[in-house]
Amino acid sequence: MRHPPKQSLANWLVPAALAGLVLVLQAGGEPVYAALRYERAAVLDGQYWRLLSAHAVHLGWAHCVMNVGGLALCAALAGGERSARAWSTALVALAVGVGLLLVAATPSAANYAGLSGVLYGLFIWVLAPRAWRGERWAWVALAAVVARIGWQLVQPPSDAQRALIGGEVMVEAHLYGALCALALCLGQAALHRLRDA
């Protein structure tokens, strides 16, 4: 039987490093934002790095701080149980997955920036294994994340939400993050079963 990794401060390294990177890039202002955000035309023209980098830049400081706060909450919910390697794998898989789904499934999205699509995926990735282990609070939190995405899909973001982050809320990215996380969780569970067999 596979046990979760022991809690360790080292397991907080990747979320902390990502938070630091996001804050540094935000301090770079408009030139950094323009160079790194997702732009559909640029990606289709070969600037594939934007599939990753778009998630590290934000529309403004409020947008940035909200997502860094969400990342801190997600890391706290993980409780130090996820290794640095697991965090790195999840971040890259979710970022690329969300980016590719934006290209393939949302051609109307000319540009996108922010960690929120990946962040919704991270919440699913952190909570699902804990829920499967029978932790009731994780089931409640997981249900809240799924309900939030569902609500966003049927109830468009308000003008106040748009004003707060400084632009449009790309709800599709939140859904794509959750779907990619579900695929990631199922894939990781299958690999663990194969190793344990």
What are the tens digits of pLDDT across the range 150-185?
999 999 889 999 999 999 999 999 999 999 999 999
Give the whole-angstrom CA distance, residue 61 versus residue 131. Answer: 33
Provide the residue range defining the domain that includes 55.
9-196
Whether residue 72 lies inside any domain: the answer is: yes
Dihedral, CA of residue 51, residue 114, residue 92 and residue 50, to nearest 10: 20
pTM: 0.93
Does residue 19 sit within a domain?
yes
Residue 3 in domain:
no
Domain count for the chain, please give it. 1
Is residue 4, in this structure, part of any structural domain at all?
no
- The answer as to whether 1 is a domain residue is no
**pLDDT string in tens for the chain (197-residue length):** 445 555 677 678 999 999 999 999 999 999 999 999 999 999 999 999 999 999 999 999 999 999 999 999 999 999 888 999 999 999 999 999 999 999 999 999 999 999 999 999 999 999 999 999 999 999 999 999 999 999 999 998 899 999 999 999 999 999 999 999 999 999 999 998 898 87
Residues paired with 111 in a beta bridge: 39
In a domain, 140, yes or no: yes
Tell me if 35 is assigned to some domain: yes
Domain harbouring 113, CATH code: 1.20.1540.10
2 belongs to a structural domain: no
Cα Rg of the chain, angstroms: 17
